[in-house]
Structure 1
Amino acid sequence: MGIESLIVIVVIVSCLGLMVFTSYSIDMILLAGLAVLMVSGTLPVSEALSGFSNEGLLTVGALYVVAAGLRETGAVHYITQRVMGNTKTVKLAQLKIMSPVMLMSAFLNNTPIVAAFIPAIERWSKKTGIPVSKILIPLSYAAILGGTCTLIGTSTNLILNGLLIEEASTRSLGLFEPAWIGIPVAIAGFIYLFIFGDLLLPDRGSSMDTFKDPKEYTIEMIVEDKGLMDGQTVDEAGLRNLPGLFLTEIQRGERIIPAVGPYEKLIGSDRLIFTGIVDSIVDLQKSPGLMPATDQVFKLDSPRKERKLIEAVVSRSNPVVGRTIKEGGFRERYNAVVLAVSRSGERIDQKVGEITLKNGDVLLIEAHPNFIKQYRNAGDFYLVSAIEDSAPVTYEKSGLAIISLIAMVVLASTGILSMLESAFVAGGFLLLTGCFRYSQAVESIDWRVLIAIGSALGLGAALQYSGVAESMASGLLGFATGKPFIALALTYLITWLLTELITNNAAAVLVFPIVLSLAQSLGLDFMPFAMTIIVAASASFSTPVGYQTNLMVLGPGGYKYSDFLKIGLPLNLMIGVITVSLVPLIWSF
């Protein structure tokens, strides 16, 4: 083994150690390792940077944009509301969230899907009282399991297929080819989580539950004619027992309904009066079927999806003090609309436009983010602050987002376009139809994930270029000579352990050249090994660090590392047995 091979081994082992035992970001570690190999001359620049032009990596980036379209148009939130409804039990809630997420993650990258669902699930959890800790791990695991069913379901599948395309001795995968093993694995995982999920998961709330704002507002909302809530009871619409929010009355024409009961049926144009904290009001603003009672929000210059909610404390020098909001021309003066007013905790029993502003009133405003820059240091307000994740959701283009997703799948599955081309067409359609802005599309891409993938591909190329992969495969031959099932089991075990220690994409890329050399040395077809790597690299259930969606639910669910081990390890073992048993029956050696 030459000096170049030793440098490659030292760099990769160092990267593994840093990823496991330090808190440095994975993308930074992998990129630094790749830079060392380039600067030292161990790996040619063309080989080192080849991963960044990998077709799978580019497809992952395009799918982030498509998923953002589903999120920005409210399609994900709409689906959550329709599917979850007013579920009362944990098991039923887990069943309802796992089913659509498994289906969606089969056709979209898992990471943006889970990112879109987390806030929707948190809002739903507040309404029902079912702890998010009972829902978010099943959400992550369902996305992982569903992702194994198609070529585009997870970035790992796309990256591995990109490696197969580049390797002359292998063939690429069909869009639904992984389903032969992915569907049995997903069904087994689904049944396991449904039976044991409630028992093994902790009963905890979000880590953010303790940070509640006691300040209360009174806000009015209108039930949309023929909208989602038109014809539903208060209970069915999820408007009863809202955390920190109380439906005080309904105004129906000239009639006022006080002390609203759970079985009161909502009718289009009903005016609902709520009193509560700002967090719940933000959730209320995003509820499909409700719209702000004031038509002023539709008269602002900027589109609603570009705005956010802002809190502003009125100063004594504000020109509107002593006048009503309508008389003072608040909208024309500030290009902003007052949705609610809080005054020392007391309820202001007036329509928003008729409230006379006083020094110290706290206003809940809908405006373009430029409002903050313009008035943060102005004398009109003592304090101006934005409310995070408060952009109003508009649902009128959610159908276009769903159509683009379906068209992308049809184009790719029929072979009319490649997966990369189909993703670009879907993303371009979303932009051209105004489902979101170009800046939002760029922001939706997780560049750190793409850097980590490209760098890992470069390190994988170093293993192959230097001959280290061939040497390591030769070492495994001693255990696997004449025993293809043993070789397959070792492939699963090594990939799974690396996935739990580092990340799924890095594990798959590093194992690929080693296992390819092993299969070639044994004279075996590589496809059984490729499918085993696909499942093993995604089977990160025992720790939160191996798969990005697990890390994403760690904080919001209030989980500990031991929670993943408790529910995930039995699932890992079960999926390992299923994979090693079924793969050789579907793809022969």
Structure 2
Amino acid sequence: MMNWEAWLSLGVASTLLATLAMRVAAKELLALGCLGILILAQNVTHSTKLPTPEQAVAGYGNEGLITIALLFAAVAGLEFTGGTELATGWLLRRARKLSDAQTRLLIPVAALSGFLNNTPVVLALIPVVGDLSKRIGVSSSRLLMPLSYTAILGGMCTLIGTGTNLIVAQMNEKAIAAGDATHHLSFFSPAVVGLPATVLGLIYMIVCSRWLLPERRPAVSAGDDPRQYTVEVQVEPSGPLVGRTIEEAGLRHLPGLYIAEIQRVSGEIAAAKPNERLQSDDVLILVGALESVVDLRKIRGLTTPDDQARKLQVPAWKRTLVEAVVSPRCSLLGKTIREGRFRSHYNAAVVAVARGDRRLTGKLGDVRLEVGDVLLLEASPSFLHRRGESRDFFLVSAVEQAAVRRPERAWFAVFILTAMVLAAATQSLKILTASMLAAVAMVAFRCCTSAEARRSVDWSILIVIGAAIGIGESLNMSGAAGSIANGILSLAGGSPLLTLAAVFMATMLCTELITNYAAAVLMFPIAIRAATGLGCDPAPMIIAVMIAASASFLTPFGYQTNMMVYGVGGYRVVDYLKFGLPLSIIVFVVTMVVVPLVWPLSPL
């Protein structure tokens, strides 16, 4: 017979599950509201079976939660320097067809996600996938969902691969201190299940995606832009493109963009054939749509001629791309772009110019400005703010582009994160210590600013985790977790294997309906009580919760990486169900086979 505290705790947890599933409000607001009900009830009744305010908010000091926040900040340096592209670009540039691209993309992502928090990994790779899909001529929908699922699978293999693993591991340490658990989880403990699940999952996705994944196309593509921008770029003398052919440099398959001519230092004009090798200081004249011009700037080894952008009196990470239309009152009408001295007049550099649907010939600096010319400028944010003070341009607008990068710092970011992973994997430092030092090093070595590091942290996730820990503590203290565990045991007929399956399925269902973090925190005490009821070691139940909480493949809502690719890939909810159901079955079967072999379910 459950007491009123247990019924209240169960009611609050059920309310949280239902409201999160129906998305009636922001998830952090729902989590804090439910936690507030329990705190209020304890304050009024002074019941010892409900957490005190101090116990209820103790989750916000949880070591795992703090580590997640620091990992977000640490990976920000990788994102803003383009370190992820540096680590994977050499492999992805050689992809020629879909299966080849998937293999080259997914295997490194699985490996990276095991050692970096998988959410920032997906965030950093979404623009890379966009470039890759354009280069091989397929829709990004064929790559983005496998990217998310692979990051989830790879994250299952280590304690730092996903935040759920960190949280469960920290709760396990607390359970050991309380005498409810006996096995410490090592850095690679989840890999016993995660590694075979990842291998089988990758095989499934690479083989079956061509039949199960839809070809979703964006409503507007680069080829739909009627404007033909002329852009001029120069091959950096010591850059990675020197000696490569146009094909190898990835300059041939940008949609709606083609190389009009190549101007050598000697004055020779070379034909833009696919097998033409790029030389130091070559100037490339390209013509194409705005989207492809922006994509062109992501390619390492290209710079603006005469290095005008680098001479601007504003650091690279503060600059923005701006479209500006030349007005009839512009003082530069009739002058060439070179004569206009944009750097002196506007603290801006001209990246490209478009004149209706006409193709402009010759060097960019030799183009004479006319009324209505559209200029693509690299400028400081103040250029947008000062547009009202100048009559030279009208219709000035910022251009959406990928996160600002500091490519010269990419190797610093890669080295810092590699050192963090090695320190954590070899247990030279605690994961919290290693991630804290990595986050500080990213800012200290200018891979990202402190403001960018703060903005990279998903505070809503941290709020939900902290509140869910408090609600989970209430389920445990009130006896509600034990009652739920007894219900699971009775449904399973007292069978350890069926109980393990029930715990796994219940956790996976909670993950799909709410979030992976909340599911792990709420199901952990239930798993402990189920193991206690069987008289078994709780380790297999804990591992089942850890794996199932990450196994979100059926909806876009259960896991953050699924939601990140949902809109970008143009997916529908049914796409997740169709492609993710076989993957969920694979992970479930692997767990049911491997866990009992490694952690016996026999009574203690």
TM category (shorter chain) comes to over 0.9
Q: Which residue of 2 aligns with 1:157?
A: 165
Say which SS state the counterpart of residue 234 (structure 2) adopts: strand
Task: Give the Å deviation of 1:212.
Answer: 5.0
Cα distance in 1 for residues equivalent to 2:30 and 2:133: 37
Cα distance in 2 for residues equivalent to 1:318 and 1:48: 64
Q: Which residue of 2 aligns with 1:491?
A: 503
Q: Which runs of 5+ in 1 are unaligned?
A: none
Q: Which residue of 2 aligns with 1:10?
A: 11
Give the counterpart letter for 1:511 in structure 2. M
Deviations 1:521-548 (A, max 9, x none): 2221111111111111111112211111
Cα distance in 2 for residues equivalent to 1:280 and 1:68: 25
Residues 133, 206 of structure 1: 8 Å contact kept: no
Cα distance in 1 for residues equivalent to 2:242 and 2:338: 30
Q: Which residue of 2 aligns with 1:479?
A: 491
Q: Which residue of 2 aligns with 1:380?
A: 392
What is the count of residue pairs matched by the alignment? Answer: 589
Do structure 1's residue 515 and structure 2's residue 530 form an aligned pair?
Answer: no
Task: Give the Å deviation of 1:127.
Answer: 2.2
Residues 207, 556 of structure 1: 8 Å contact kept: no
Q: Which residue of 1 aligns with 2:62?
A: 54
Task: Give the Å deviation of 1:259.
Answer: 5.1
Deviations 1:187-236 (A, max 9, x none): 11111112212221112224664895432211111122342222221112
Q: Which residue of 1 aligns with 2:462?
A: 450
Do structure 1's residue 287 and structure 2's residue 299 form an aligned pair?
Answer: yes
Task: Give the Å deviation of 1:513.
Answer: 0.8
Residues 80, 121 of structure 1: 8 Å contact kept: no
Task: Give the Å deviation of 1:390.
Answer: 4.6
Aligned match of 2:95 in 79, 87, 90? 87
Task: Give the Å deviation of 1:316.
Answer: 2.9
Query: In the TM superposition, what are the counterparts of 1:37-436 in structure 2 within 5 Å?
Result: 37-41=38-42, 43-167=51-175, 168=177, 169=179, 170=181, 171-206=183-218, 209=221, 212-257=224-269, 260-376=272-388, 378-390=390-402, 393-436=405-448
Cα distance in 1 for residues equivalent to 2:300 and 2:420: 26
Q: Which residue of 2 aligns with 1:535?
A: 547
Cα distance in 2 for residues equivalent to 1:453 and 1:214: 48
Residues 5, 466 of structure 1: 8 Å contact kept: yes
Cα distance in 2 for residues equivalent to 1:399 and 1:210: 32
Say if 1:121 and 1:519 are closer, same or farther in 2 by CA, change over 3 A. same
Residues 128, 238 of structure 1: 8 Å contact kept: no
Task: Give the Å deviation of 1:88.
Answer: 2.1
Residues 73, 453 of structure 2: 8 Å contact kept: yes
Task: Give the Å deviation of 1:578.
Answer: 1.1
Stretch deviating more after TM superposition (146-155 or 258-267) = 258-267
Give the counterpart letter for 2:310 in structure 1. F
Do structure 1's residue 34 and structure 2's residue 35 form an aligned pair?
Answer: yes
TM-score scaled by length of structure 2: 0.93
Cα distance in 1 for residues equivalent to 2:344 and 2:163: 48
Deviations 1:375-414 (A, max 9, x none): 2564332122111225553322111111111110121122
TM-score scaled by length of structure 1: 0.96
Say if 1:451 and 1:387 are closer, same or farther in 2 by CA, change over 3 A. same
Cα distance in 2 for residues equivalent to 1:207 and 1:464: 50
Say which SS state the counterpart of residue 388 (structure 1) adopts: coil
Residues 98, 136 of structure 2: 8 Å contact kept: no
Say which SS state the counterpart of residue 133 (structure 2) adopts: helix
Cα distance in 2 for residues equivalent to 1:307 and 1:372: 11
Say if 1:498 and 1:391 are closer, same or farther in 2 by CA, change over 3 A. closer
Stretch deviating more after TM superposition (157-166 or 352-361) = 352-361
Residues 86, 237 of structure 1: 8 Å contact kept: no
Residues 222, 290 of structure 2: 8 Å contact kept: no
Aligned match of 1:441 in 432, 435, 453? 453
Task: Give the Å deviation of 1:89.
Answer: 1.6
C-alpha RMSD of the superposition: 2.0
Cα distance in 1 for residues equivalent to 2:540 and 2:600: 7
Q: Give the % identical residues.
A: 42
Say which SS state the counterpart of residue 40 (structure 1) adopts: helix
Cα distance in 1 for residues equivalent to 2:88 and 2:588: 31
Deviations 1:401-449 (A, max 9, x none): 1111111012112222110110011111111111111111111111112
Task: Give the Å deviation of 1:485.
Answer: 1.2
Cα distance in 2 for residues equivalent to 1:67 and 1:78: 14
Deviations 1:461-495 (A, max 9, x none): 22112221112112223234652112111111111
Task: Give the Å deviation of 1:256.
Answer: 4.3
Task: Give the Å deviation of 1:350.
Answer: 4.1
Stretch deviating more after TM superposition (278-287 or 253-262) = 253-262
Residues 495, 508 of structure 1: 8 Å contact kept: yes
Q: Which residue of 2 aligns with 1:502?
A: 514
Residues 250, 257 of structure 1: 8 Å contact kept: yes
Deviations 1:102-126 (A, max 9, x none): 0110011111110111111112212
Q: Which runs of 5+ in 2 are unaligned?
A: 43-49
Deviations 1:253-299 (A, max 9, x none): 24444652212122222111111111111110110121122411111
Cα distance in 1 for residues equivalent to 2:219 and 2:168: 36
